[in-house]
Amino acid sequence: MKTVNDFNFENKKALIRVDFNVPLDEHFNVTDSNRIQAAKPTIIKVLEDGGSAVLMSHLGRPKGQSNPDLSLQHICSTVSDVIGVTVKFVADCVGEVAEKAVADLKPGEILLLENLRFHAEEEKGDEAFAEQLSKLGDIYINDAFGTAHRAHASTTIIAKFFPEEKCFGLLLAKEIEAIDKVMQTGEKPVLAILGGAKVSSKITIIENILDKVDHLIIGGGMTYTFIKAQGGHVGDSICEDDKMDLAMDILKQAKEKNVEVHIPVDVLAADDFANDANTQIVDVTKIPDGWQGLDAGPKTLEIFKEVILKSKTILWNGPIGVFEMESFAKGTIAVGNFIDEATKNGAFSLVGGGDSVAAVKQFGFENKVSYVSTGGGAMLESLEGKTLPGIAAIKG
C-alpha cells in the first residue's frame, strides 16, 4: 500500500483529494474542523518535503450548480488556521483560472480549489473532467475516506491519469489499516457490537462479519426484532416484524459458525418516548403493553462488560440505547467505559458509523478508543465487504 511516506515531494505539486465537507453556521463559520485537522499530517508531509499542495474537496450538495453558500472560500481561513500556513483560493477547480493558480504556486504554498460539485461531471465520474483535474498536480493523493465509496471523478477516475504517481494520504491509510485489523488481522477474540434502530440497515454487515468475529453483541432498537422473533413480548418497542425470519436466520448462521451472540436480557422500559417518561427495569421478553425498551438494563450491562473485557479486537457500530436523551444514555456510556478499559488493557478498538461516532464524541471517548473512523458510509460499506472504488483506484 503506497502512502505519502513512499514519495519525496520536493519541487512537486501534490494534488490532494481531501474531505472538507464540514458543517457551517448561518454566518459561514466552520463549526467542526475535525475533518480539516485529520488531513493536516498529509499536507504537512508534502510541505516539509519542499512541495506545494493543491487541495480539492466538495462541500454540501450543490447538484452541479454554482452556489455561493457552498463555496469553499468560506473555509479558507479555518484551513489556514489549522495547517498554520496561509491558504490561497481559486474560484474554480478546472480550466484556465485553476491552471494559472497552480502554475504560480511555489514550494511550501497551499492552494484550495473551488467546490468540485459545482460541476455535475464530478459526481458522474466524467473522464474528461477527471483529466482536467489531473493537470493540476504531479502526484495524486487520495486522503478522503468519507468519499472513497463513491466512483466520482476526483476520488476514483482521476487515478488512471497518474499510473505511477499516486498514493494514499496518511488519514486514508490509517482508515484502511483499522478496518483490516478488525476484518482480517485482528487478535482474537474479535467482538462486534452492533446497535442502532433497525436490523434491516445492518443485515449485510452482520452477514459479512460472522466469518470474522467470535462474539456479536446486539443492542439498541434491533434487540426487539430478535426478541420478538424468539417468542418474547416487546410491548410497544420498535420492531421490524417483516425482519423476524431474518433475525432467526442470523442466529442460526451464528450458531453454525460458532459465534456467540449476546442479546440484552433486561431493559430500561419507558411509558413514552420522552426524557421525562416513567421508567422501569423489565425482563426483555416481558415488556408490558404501552411500554417500550429504550436502553439496556443492569444485568445486560454486566454481561456486555464481561464479553468486552475479554475481547482483544473490538468494533463498535451503533448506540445501545436512545443516547440522545439523558435518561436513556446510560447503556451507551457504560459500553464506552468498558471499551475504554479493554483498550487500556491492550485491545484494539474501532468505532465507526454515524450514531456511534456522535455518541463517542458527545461522551468524551474519542481519545479512549484506538481509532474513530471519519467516514460513515465508506466505513459501513467496508464492513459489508465491498471494495471501495476510491481505494481500488490507488491500489490498481
Judge whether 350 and 176 are in contact, CB under 8 Å. Answer: no
Annotated catalytic, 135? no
Burial 263-283 (b: 16+ CB within 10 A, else e): bbbbbbbbeeeeeebebeebb
Residue 376 has pLDDT above 80, yes or no: no
Q: Where does the pLDDT of residue 199 fall: very low under 50, low under 70, confident under 90, or very high at 90 and above?
A: confident
pLDDT at 356: 84
Rounded to an integer, the average pLDDT of 116-131 is 98
Q: Is the model more confident about 276 or about 183?
A: 276
Residue 353, marked binder: yes
Judge whether 234 and 335 are in contact, CB under 8 Å. Answer: no
What is the C-alpha separation between 204 and 206, in angstroms, rounded? 6
What number of other Cβ atoms are within 10 A of residue 293's Cβ?
29
Q: From the candidates 35, 174, 228, 368, which is the catalytic residue? A: 35
Domain 4-173, second-level architecture: 3-Layer(aba) Sandwich (3.40)
Residue 354, marked binder: yes
Rounded to an integer, the average pLDDT of 219-235 is 96
In which residue ranges of the chain is CATH 3.40.50.1260 found? Answer: 4-173, 186-383
What is the C-alpha separation between 264 and 354, in angstroms, rounded? 22
Q: From the candidates 64, 299, 312, 377, which is the catalytic residue? A: 377
pLDDT at 296: 98
Residue 355 has pLDDT above 90, yes or no: no
Residue 20, marked binder: yes
Residue 356, marked binder: yes
Rounded to an integer, the average pLDDT of 268-291 is 98
Annotated catalytic, 354? yes
**pTM, rounded to two decimals:** 0.89
Of 111, 46, 144, 72, which Cα lies nearest the Cα of 378? Answer: 144
pLDDT at 354: 65
Residue 21, marked binder: yes
CATH class label, 186-383? alpha beta
Rounded to an integer, the average pLDDT of 152-162 is 97
What is the C-alpha separation between 284 and 300, in angstroms, rounded? 10
Q: From the candidates 64, 354, 361, 385, which is the catalytic residue? A: 354
Tens digit of each residue's pLDDT (9 = 90 or more) over 295-311? 999 999 999 999 999 99
What number of other Cβ atoms are within 10 A of residue 154's Cβ?
31
